[in-house]
Amino acid sequence: MAKRKLSLSSRIFIYMIMLVVVASILIAGVTIYQYNEQSQDYHRLRLERKEAQLISSINYVLKETTWEVKTENLPLIFKDKIYEIANIHNVNFNLYDLNGDLIKMSKPNFENNAIEMHLSSDILTKLNQSISKRFVEKIKRFGEDYRSSYMIFSDTNATPLGVLNVPYFDDDSLNYGELKAFLIRLSYAYIIMILVAIAFAYFVSKYITKSLQTIRDKMKGTRLEKRNQKIELKGASLEVSALVESYNNMIDELEDSVKKLATSEREQAWREMAKQVAHEIKNPLTPMRLSVQSFQRKFDPHDPNIDKKVEEYTKTLIQQIDTMNSIASAFSDFAKMPAQKLELLNVVEVVELTLDIFPESDIKFISKESEIIANFDRSQLIRIITNLVKNAIQSIPQDRPPQISIHLYSDNTDIVIEVKDNGSGITKAIEDRIFEPKFTTKTSGMGLGLPMIKNMIDTYNGSINFSSIIDEGSQFTVRFPKQFTDEL
């Protein structure tokens, strides 16, 4: 099953909405990313500031202490000072010696298992390898992010004394709260923007495709048999204007082609008609010539039977002349249909009168209605019935009893005539040529009967079709409207 393709207006509408949605998602993503980056920078700088403050306070204590400044005396130097520094800066920190052993911590009541009593060799290695003698470790505890910075501090002579450890909790609750509030406000803006975009996309898509719709309607209505109107669009884009110009040029070329084709078809039709007329006229001329030559050769004024011979000769010529006259009449009727004389008539009555010329035993007329009124030409209706019945009679083999039925009925708008026979039927090979001029399967005739009545029926906006079974018979069905005027 073929997939249904979307129209251009639908595609433009969908693409514009998708563009707004994708842009909204990208903006939200960039916003979240930016907030995360700002949060990371905030925590990094805040930790560095705390470290700087603590180092400044440690250096001050080392400068004012009466103890010899060396690693072994650090527990004595910071015995009480570590609490003062922690209280001043509101920061908990720990001091380790250069071997990574815990010397002092600012929060004595802190659970021991939360403080590393000895730094790992990995931390010491990274700390010593760092140019700045500083290392920050990021860890997760209880689902939260923690930072723990390690920095080697020195005395006034730049001699390393120990390691300062500052535990730091990345408290993002404030940032996340601001981010959440911002995203909520942004979502409201996105909803409004999407609604505006939907309305905008709808009108823009309609505006863009309006001119294309006009072109499509014009192209859809383009026909060879009628005069096609050119397209005039104001305010169209360059691309659409180029398309309109191409269409208008095509219409001009199409009209020229139609004129040339019509001229060519008329010339061909007249040539074919001339050939057919010449062929049909030659058929009776040949026996006429032979008759004249024979009469000229055998004419004897003293022959006692001369009167009888002249009579036979005259009868032969008159018969051939009548044949030529019927040929000329048939071609005249086909080439130029007689003018219609429309009148309100009872189709049932006309058909019954038409069938009176045929043997009653061969034809069965069926009509449940005694009166069917239609606006039609009486003579043309008679010709249609007569031709169809004659064809039905001629289609029946001589060794088969003829059975022909004419069924007449009507509905709300149309009248239907069905002519059925028990003849030889119509083969598949000639079905497409039944209504073709000059085509006939009979040994006599010119093949103009069915094409002629088809022209009549087409004039009334009617139709004629048939069905057939070989060796069983055929049925021709004629349908035409009850009401018909010359303006149709």
The per-residue DSSP string of 314-356 comes to HHHHHHHHHHHHHHHHHHHHHHSPPPP-EEEEEHHHHHHHHHT
Residue 234: what pLDDT?
A: 65
CA–CA separation, 166 and 44 (whole Å): 12
74-88, 178-192, 301-315: which has the minimum mean pLDDT? 301-315
Residue-wise pLDDT for 419-454, tens only, equals 998 888 887 777 777 776 654 545 444 445 677 788
pLDDT at 415 over 70: yes
Residue 197 vs residues 8, 188, 281, 320, 488: alpha-carbon distances, Å: 17, 14, 79, 86, 50
- DSSP state at residue 7: P
Binned at pLDDT 50, 70 and 90, residue 337 comes out as low
**Which tokens go with 210?**
């309006």
Three-class secondary structure of residue 395 per DSSP: coil
CA–CA separation, 182 and 200 (whole Å): 26
Highest mean pLDDT among 53-57, 389-393, 453-457: 53-57
- DSSP state at residue 227: P
CA–CA separation, 215 and 250 (whole Å): 13
Average pLDDT over residues 1-29: 75
Residue 205: what pLDDT?
A: 72
Between 271 and 416, the more confident residue is 416
Binned at pLDDT 50, 70 and 90, residue 267 comes out as low
CA–CA separation, 77 and 58 (whole Å): 10
Sorted by sequence, the CB contacts under 8 Å of residue 94 that are 6+ apart come out as: 102, 104, 105, 106, 115, 164, 165, 167
For the chain, helix, strand, coil in percent to 5 are 55, 15, 30
Please, where in the chain does CATH 3.30.450.20 lie?
Answer: 8-176
Residue 435: what pLDDT?
A: 72
Please, where in the chain does CATH 3.30.565.10 lie?
Answer: 342-481
Residue 409: what pLDDT?
A: 92
Residue 221: what pLDDT?
A: 62
pLDDT at 344 over 60: yes
Binned at pLDDT 50, 70 and 90, residue 178 comes out as confident
Phi then psi for residue 447, to 5 deg, are 70, 35
22-36, 56-70, 243-257, 285-299: which has the minimum mean pLDDT? 285-299
Question: With contact defined as beta carbons under 8 Å apart, do 104 and 82 qualify?
Answer: yes
Between 227 and 146, the more confident residue is 146
Residue 459 vs residues 379, 380, 420, 484, 487: alpha-carbon distances, Å: 14, 11, 24, 10, 11
Average pLDDT over residues 356-377: 81
Between 318 and 480, the more confident residue is 480
Residue 112: what pLDDT?
A: 45
Mutual angle of helices 378-394 and 347-355, in 10-degree steps: 40
Domain 342-481 is in which class?
Answer: alpha beta
Q: If phi over 0 gives left and psi between -120 and 50 gives alpha, with beta otherwise, what is residue 448? A: alpha
Residue 326: what pLDDT?
A: 61
pLDDT at 111 over 60: no
Nearest Cα neighbor of 92 from 121, 113, 114, 61 is: 114
Question: With contact defined as beta carbons under 8 Å apart, do 162 and 152 qualify?
Answer: yes
Question: With contact defined as beta carbons under 8 Å apart, do 153 and 58 qualify?
Answer: yes
| Cα angle 63, 67, 71; round to 5 | 85
Q: Residue 2: CA atoms inside 13 Å, Cβ hemisphere, count? A: 3
pLDDT at 1 over 70: no
164: enclosing H helix or E strand: strand 160-169
pTM of the entire structure? Answer: 0.40
77-81, 172-176, 412-416: which has the minimum mean pLDDT? 172-176
Binned at pLDDT 50, 70 and 90, residue 418 comes out as very high
Residue that is written with structure tokens 């072109």 in the block: 215
Sorted by sequence, the CB contacts under 8 Å of residue 261 that are 6+ apart come out as: 224
Residue that is written with structure tokens 């939360």 in the block: 114
CA–CA separation, 468 and 452 (whole Å): 21
CA–CA separation, 45 and 74 (whole Å): 28
Sorted by sequence, the CB contacts under 8 Å of residue 152 that are 6+ apart come out as: 98, 127, 128, 133, 134, 160, 162, 163, 164
- DSSP state at residue 118: B
Between 51 and 204, the more confident residue is 51
**Which tokens go with 355?**
């069938």
Residue 265: what pLDDT?
A: 66
Please count the residues of the chain. Answer: 488
Residue 253: what pLDDT?
A: 74
102-105 vs 134-141, strand pairing mode: unpaired
pLDDT at 334 over 60: no
Q: What is the CATH number of domain 8-176?
A: 3.30.450.20
Average pLDDT over residues 373-379: 83
Question: With contact defined as beta carbons under 8 Å apart, do 307 and 293 qualify?
Answer: no
CA–CA separation, 231 and 246 (whole Å): 10
Q: Residue 348: CA atoms inside 13 Å, Cβ hemisphere, count? A: 11
Question: With contact defined as beta carbons under 8 Å apart, do 123 and 150 qualify?
Answer: yes
Sorted by sequence, the CB contacts under 8 Å of residue 368 that are 6+ apart come out as: 409
Residue that is written with structure tokens 């433009």 in the block: 12
Residue-wise pLDDT for 288-332, tens only, equals 666 677 667 766 777 777 777 777 667 767 766 766 666 666 565
Nearest Cα neighbor of 474 from 427, 435, 432 is: 427
Average pLDDT over residues 470-485: 83
Question: With contact defined as beta carbons under 8 Å apart, do 188 and 217 qualify?
Answer: no
Three-class secondary structure of residue 36 per DSSP: helix
33-42, 130-139, 246-255, 417-426: which has the minimum mean pLDDT? 246-255
21-30, 319-328, 454-463: which has the minimum mean pLDDT? 319-328
